Chains A and B, each alone.
Chain A
Amino acid sequence: MAREAYITGVGQSEVGVRLPRHPLLLTIDAINVALKDAGLTLDQIDGVFSFPGKSNGYLAFSPVGTDEIIEVCGIKSKWQMGAMEQPAQLSAIGMAAMAVKEGLCRHVICFRTVYEAGGMANPAEYMPLQHKEVSGGSQWTSPFFATSAACWTAQYAQRHVYKYGMTREQLAQIAINGSKNAMLNPNARAITKEELTLDKYMSARMITTPLCLYDCDRFTDCSTVIIVSAGDALDEVSADPVRIAAMSGSVDRYSWDQAEWSAAYDAGPDLWKNTDYSVKDVDTAQFYDGFAFLPLTWLEGLGFCEKGEAHKFIEGGTRIARDGELPLNTGGGQLGAGRLHGFGFAHEAVTQLRKAAGPRQIPGDPRVAVATSGGGPLAAALLLARD
């Protein structure tokens, strides 16, 4: 029988804005939390995976590499991977799952460390991205001052406004729901200090239509660690394991402006191809919300509603609330809990499935969760199950 892959430990460092602590140390903090959670020690780790690997051209975006973790933790690694060229953030966990399923590794550390706020405070060490001369993909957007992914995502969102009648009041529910949940998440205290109201949302300054200030996540300093273990190594673990029941990814046009629809519409249906679970079985959804419109593409892509219907699905916010039919971004998402860049969604999904979310725990007996990452031309999804 084929080996299965499980998430056996999750951990997060302090989450903050302009944290003085070095990002390598934040990563070690998160590793220690995750190891303790799993009941493992460093000498049992034999693989390290990350997205997107150390980003030397823009260090604050990803200041720590897998080599460095192997070195400073004294890990005898059998397999490692840190790369930007993969479907999206969470596919690093998918790669780790493949490694343990293949028998290459038994317990692996997956991490995503971000230091974009701290980096801005220390430009000498963390050189900011420069926009004066551009090459590669950014030459097709930056010359038109379409500088941020906000501008690219806004154009997908604006099409929902035009074609399907999405209103700001409907879109607002993603940020409002995220802020409500973040208020109950102790790791989100540095990011969300008060609940967002519809009035406040509606009067916020516009960034790029239809996205306002509250529709965009903010630079955050944090490391998130997910430990993935082989199914035949679970006797070494003390925590409740959560099975990686399926995964999917998609990249079609590696370009934000050539892809007609975001890749969630391809990766979504594919998630259901390798599992007996269906969309009806999902107890909670943790959908990438670096920009508020992106969860709508996942709702549609995964089949929770038809294409062009997601704004109606979230209208009023009751359906996606913690006690609704599809609790969404129960830890606050990136809008509420900071730009953890993808891994926060896996962290929260596991926390909910283990019923360890404290005051923000969803009711009932949640067994199946979907965590997604990516936007525009990039997409990766994980189906997680406590079965």
Chain B
Amino acid sequence: MSSPPRPRPRLDSVNHAFWTGGAEGDLMIVKCGDCGEFTHPPQILCRHCQSENVAPTAVAGTGAVETFTINYQPWVKDLEVPYVIARVRLDGVPGVYLTTNIVGCPVEDVKFDDKVRVKFEEQDGIFYPLFEKVS
């Protein structure tokens, strides 16, 4: 999946940590300093207790495949197919899923509940959190 560039998220003060945390190898999810719950997509307050005491926090970066699809349709010109789109549930981050790609293995090798680990792919200063299977 190297051909066309990935769509680039427009950075702002709220999403900056998520999209650039990979520079330090960190997957950053907004965590509440009061109730300890996570808010994703990131926000400037906690979606569980509405506290403003929230901050992007490095999480383990491991998780499991909640569900997935093998995509065959090239949605943009020259997009290499097939590839796996998955929803990953993150270890230690209850209630948060990430849509991502599972990379580094043949598409037919991805299964429900597979253990995965984040693998950042950098493109022009954005660190895309992709995931690969943990053997």
Q: Are B7 and A132 in contact (CB under 8 A)?
A: yes
Complex-state Cα separation, A132 to B85, whole angstroms: 19
Q: Which B residue sits closest to A154, measured CB to CB?
A: B69
Complex-state Cα separation, A139 to B71, whole angstroms: 18
Q: Are A145 and B9 in contact (CB under 8 A)?
A: no
Contact A140 to B99, CB < 8 A, known contacts A131-B76, A133-B10, A258-B40: yes
A170 located at the interface, meaning its Cβ lies under 8 Å from any Cβ of chain B in the complex: no
Interface centre among A133, A138, A155, by most chain B C-beta atoms within 10 angstroms, is A155
Please, what's the 1-or-0 string for B32-76, where 1 marks a CB less than 8 Å from any CB in chain A?
A: 000000001100000000000000000000000001111111011
Shortest CB-to-CB span from A149 to chain B, Å, is: 11
A219 located at the interface, meaning its Cβ lies under 8 Å from any Cβ of chain B in the complex: no
Shortest CB-to-CB span from A141 to chain B, Å, is: 5
Contact A143 to B8, CB < 8 A, known contacts A155-B85, A257-B87, A258-B96: yes
Q: Are B15 and A139 in contact (CB under 8 A)?
A: yes
Contact of B101 among A138, A145, A205, A210 (CB under 8 A): A145
Complex-state Cα separation, A245 to B68, whole angstroms: 38
B126 contacts which chain A residues (CB < 8 A)? Answer: 143
Q: Which B residue sits closest to A155, measured CB to CB?
A: B67
A156 located at the interface, meaning its Cβ lies under 8 Å from any Cβ of chain B in the complex: yes
Shortest CB-to-CB span from B3 to chain A, Å, is: 10
Contact residues, A254-298 vs B (CB, 8 A): 255-258
Q: Are A145 and B128 in contact (CB under 8 A)?
A: no
B120 located at the interface, meaning its Cβ lies under 8 Å from any Cβ of chain A in the complex: no
Shortest CB-to-CB span from B2 to chain A, Å, is: 12
* Chain A contact residue count (CB 8 A cutoff): 38
Q: Are B10 and A139 in contact (CB under 8 A)?
A: yes
A145 contacts which chain B residues (CB < 8 A)? Answer: 1, 6-7, 71, 75-76, 79, 83, 85, 101
Shortest CB-to-CB span from A299 to chain B, Å, is: 20
Contact residues, B66-113 vs A (CB, 8 A): 67-73, 75-76, 79, 83, 85-87, 95-101, 112
A162 contacts which chain B residues (CB < 8 A)? Answer: 67, 112
Complex-state Cα separation, A257 to B100, whole angstroms: 10
Complex-state Cα separation, A154 to B47, whole angstroms: 27
Q: Are B9 and A143 in contact (CB under 8 A)?
A: yes
Contact residues, A104-150 vs B (CB, 8 A): 131-135, 137-148, 150
A84 located at the interface, meaning its Cβ lies under 8 Å from any Cβ of chain B in the complex: no
Q: Which B residue sits closest to A212, measured CB to CB?
A: B72
Complex-state Cα separation, A135 to B72, whole angstroms: 25
Shortest CB-to-CB span from B40 to chain A, Å, is: 7
Shortest CB-to-CB span from A183 to chain B, Å, is: 27
Q: Are B9 and A134 in contact (CB under 8 A)?
A: yes
Please, what's the 1-or-0 string for B108-134, where 1 marks a CB less than 8 Å from any CB in chain A?
A: 000010000000000000101010000
A135 contacts which chain B residues (CB < 8 A)? Answer: 9-10, 12
Q: Are A147 and B69 in contact (CB under 8 A)?
A: no
Further 8 A-B residue pairs, CB within 8 A, beyond A133-B9, A140-B41, A145-B101 = A131-B7, A134-B10, A141-B99, A143-B126, A144-B130, A156-B67, A208-B73, A257-B99
Chain A interface residues (CB < 8 Å from chain B): 131-135, 137-148, 150-152, 154-159, 162, 205-211, 255-258
Name 23 interchain pairs, CB-CB below 8 A, sorted by A. Answer: A131-B7, A131-B75, A133-B10, A134-B7, A134-B8, A139-B15, A140-B98, A142-B7, A143-B126, A144-B6, A144-B128, A145-B6, A147-B75, A155-B86, A156-B67, A158-B68, A159-B112, A208-B70, A208-B72, A209-B69, A255-B41, A256-B99, A257-B97
Q: Which 3 A-B pairs have the closest CB atoms?
A: A147-B75, A154-B69, A139-B9
Chain B interface residues (CB < 8 Å from chain A): 1, 5-10, 12, 15, 40-41, 67-73, 75-76, 79, 83, 85-87, 95-101, 112, 126, 128, 130
